[in-house]
């Protein structure tokens, strides 16, 4: 299969070719590896490859799932897998091995996917960029190598956008699927809390704010992937509202006409960048043309208390991971073992008590209850995904040791990404849709959030938008 032919299909399309005998899993893996040879020297998006494990899985015979034979990459964070060690974006954790496959990986394998490696992530998943030292340099955006592909699933965004694979695993604790989707011109949906399993090694990530998902070029790929993995695993601490029909069924017809609020303001109260405003207004016009009721409405959210709580929870989660690893290896932490921003998280965690942590969790829950009232008259809320176009590489480099200022300061992450973490806190489903590209050729995603449990409504609308404003054939220069 030529690379041109390979890039012309989404994951379900490639699986259909395998099912018809028009290509083989080995040929698809070879095409993916050839694409890596072509683009990864520029992108630096591959954390590690395990082609021997992939070929062994093919030789054993793949399950007859909906993605049988399609090459696939895990994020270098979470997604425990026996055959696929992880660095977790960190020199401290380099080469971490797992004794079991996570429930998520088991389900991905049953779907017939050929896992052959991992994509880059910032250290321990903290950041809207991917610039971890363990990979030798930053991960770059195939639309413009001077810009970031996002984070923390930045490697996943880069490889899918560049045509290495049509779909990749990601995870999202504050926007880490949706930020790279917006930055890389892809579709990315964060499901409702607990829609995707986290176990057995993890009960919850960041007080229930983190969840796994996917970055894809087509809506139907995300739908089929979520159908393949959705549902709590044994002993899960949360249980999501049941799906009415499933994701793939939900995209078979447009949703009922929806009441959609839109805002061109940041949740901080500031105006978003003109490119982001244009993307919102363009999307609102498409929605109106499709017959949805669209009106401007600005949620009144008290953002700073929430984000201070988010920062405390993230710092404590980071500290727990680092201290556990240090105890396992039996030698003290050296400052060069971790990035500056991780050292800052450790320092912040040392100022916090157990009561401080629990109060942060309570603040997150209070915020989620308050936000739910905004959705009583509306089905969905439309905003930008980011308040600006994708940042230049180095702008949010993880060197600062002031964790609070890095996240919440006037030049920190919050003014750049004020929308996504809100819905990790509330647990509501949210997605970034690639509707707009600016004059510089950079993708500008728009963000939709729905009521708790309304994943199928979001998915149905995404398919309707995909048909009204197609993006699949928009390809970056590095492709």
Specify the pLDDT at position 479: 78
**pLDDT category of residue 269 using cuts at 50, 70 and 90:** confident
CB 189 within 8 A of CB 180: no
> 226-252: per-residue pLDDT in tens?
999 999 999 999 999 999 999 999 999
SS3 of 445, please?
Answer: strand
Which tokens belong to 421?
Answer: 């973490």
Residues 6+ away with beta carbon under 8 Å from 7 = 35, 163, 475, 479
**pLDDT category of residue 4 using cuts at 50, 70 and 90:** confident
- When pLDDT is averaged across residues 90-119 and rounded to a whole number, the result is 98
The domain limits of the chain are 3-302+362-468
Instruction: Identify the active-site residue in 86, 152, 182, 426.
Output: 152
Provide, rounded to the nearest whole percent, the portion of the chain with pLDDT above 90.
97
Whole-model pTM over 0.95: yes
42 is catalytic: no
2 is catalytic: no
> 108-145: per-residue pLDDT in tens?
999 999 999 999 999 999 999 999 999 999 999 999 99
Which tokens belong to 288?
Answer: 């109106």
**pLDDT category of residue 2 using cuts at 50, 70 and 90:** confident
Nearest-CA neighbor of 415 among 386, 384, 445, 390? 386
Which tokens belong to 51?
Answer: 């082609």
Residues 6+ away with beta carbon under 8 Å from 267 = 299, 301, 303, 383, 418, 419, 422
**Beta pairing, strands 293-296 & 430-437:** unpaired
The pLDDT mean for the chain works out to 97
CB burial of residue 34 (10 Å; 0-12, 13-18, 19+)? middle
SS3 of 23, please?
Answer: coil
> 429-455: per-residue pLDDT in tens?
999 999 999 999 999 999 999 999 999
CB 156 within 8 A of CB 416: no
Q: Which residues pair with 170 in a beta bridge?
A: 213
Long-range contacts of 369-373 (CB under 8 A, 24+ apart): 370/301, 370/302, 371/299, 371/301, 371/422, 371/425, 371/426, 371/428, 372/426, 372/428, 372/451, 372/452
CB 372 within 8 A of CB 426: yes
CB atoms within 10 A of CB 19: 14
Which tokens belong to 414?
Answer: 């919050």
Instruction: Identify the active-site residue in 102, 171, 176, 349.
Output: 176
Specify the pLDDT at position 86: 98
Nearest-CA neighbor of 179 among 125, 138, 105, 132? 125
CB burial of residue 191 (10 Å; 0-12, 13-18, 19+)? buried
176 is catalytic: yes
DSSP 145-193: EEEE--SSSHHHHHHHHTTS-SEEEEEESSSTTHHHHHHHT-EEEEPST
CATH fold of the domain at 3-302+362-468: Amidase signature (AS) enzymes (3.90.1300)
Cα separation values, 445 from 1, 248, 442, 460, 463, Å: 32, 23, 10, 18, 15
Specify the pLDDT at position 301: 87
Specify the pLDDT at position 141: 98
Instruction: Identify the active-site residue in 75, 109, 190, 265.
Output: 75
């Amino acid at each position: 299969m030529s690379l041109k032919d390979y890039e012309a299909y989404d994951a379900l399309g490639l699986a259909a070719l395998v099912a018809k005998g028009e290509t083989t899993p080995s040929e698809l893996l070879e095409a993916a590896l050839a694409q890596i040879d072509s683009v990864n020297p520029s992108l630096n998006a591959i954390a590690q490859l395990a082609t021997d494990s992939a070929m062994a899985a093919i030789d054993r015979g793949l399950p007859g799932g909906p993605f049988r034979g399609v090459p696939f990459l895990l994020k270098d964070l979470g997604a425990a897998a026996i055959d696929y060690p992880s660095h977790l974006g960190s020199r401290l954790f380099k080469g971490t091995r797992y004794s079991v496959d996570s429930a998520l990986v088991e389900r991905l394998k049953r779907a017939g996917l050929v896992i052959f490696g991992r994509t880059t992530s910032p250290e321990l998943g903290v950041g809207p960029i991917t610039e971890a030292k363990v990979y030798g340099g930053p991960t770059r955006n195939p639309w413009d190598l001077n810009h970031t592909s996002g984070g923390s699933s930045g490697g996943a965004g880069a490889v899918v956008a560049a045509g290495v694979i049509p779909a990749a695993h990601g995870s999202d604790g504050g926007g880490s699927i949706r930020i790279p989707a917006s930055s890389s011109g892809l579709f990315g949906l964060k499901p409702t809390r607990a829609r995707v399993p986290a176990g057995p090694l993890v009960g919850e990530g960041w007080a229930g704010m983190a969840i796994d998902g996917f970055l894809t070029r087509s809506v139907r790929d995300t739908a089929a992937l979520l159908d393949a993995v959705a549902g709590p695993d044994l002993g899960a601490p949360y249980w999501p509202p049941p799906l009415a029909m499933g994701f793939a069924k939900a995209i078979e017809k447009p949703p009922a006409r929806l009441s959609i609020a839109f805002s061109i303001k940041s949740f901080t109260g500031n105006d978003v960048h003109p490119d982001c405003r244009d993307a919102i207004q363009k999307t609102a016009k498409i929605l109106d043309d499709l017959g949805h009721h669209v009106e401007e409405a600005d949620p009144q959210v008290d953002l700073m208390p929430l984000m201070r709580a988010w920062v405390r929870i993230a710092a404590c989660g980071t500290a727990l991971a680092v201290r556990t690893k240090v105890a396992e290896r039996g030698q003290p932490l050296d400052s060069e073992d971790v990035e500056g921003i991780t050292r800052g998280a450790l320092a912040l965690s040392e100022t916090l008590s157990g009561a401080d942590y629990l109060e942060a969790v309570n603040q997150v829950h209070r915020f989620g209850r308050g936000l739910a009232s905004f959705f009583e008259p509306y089905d969905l809320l439309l905003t930008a995904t980011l308040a600006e176009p994708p940042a230049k590489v180095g702008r949010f480099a993880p060197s600062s040791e002031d964790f609070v200022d890095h996240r919440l300061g006037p030049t920190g992450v919050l003014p750049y990404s004020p929308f996504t973490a809100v819905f990790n806190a509330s647990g509501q489903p949210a997605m970034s849709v690639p509707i707009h590209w600016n004059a510089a050729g950079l993708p500008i995603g728009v963000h939709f959030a729905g009521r708790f449990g309304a994943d199928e409504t979001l998915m149905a609308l995404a398919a309707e938008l995909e048909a009204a404003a197609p993006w699949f054939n928009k390809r970056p220069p590095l492709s």
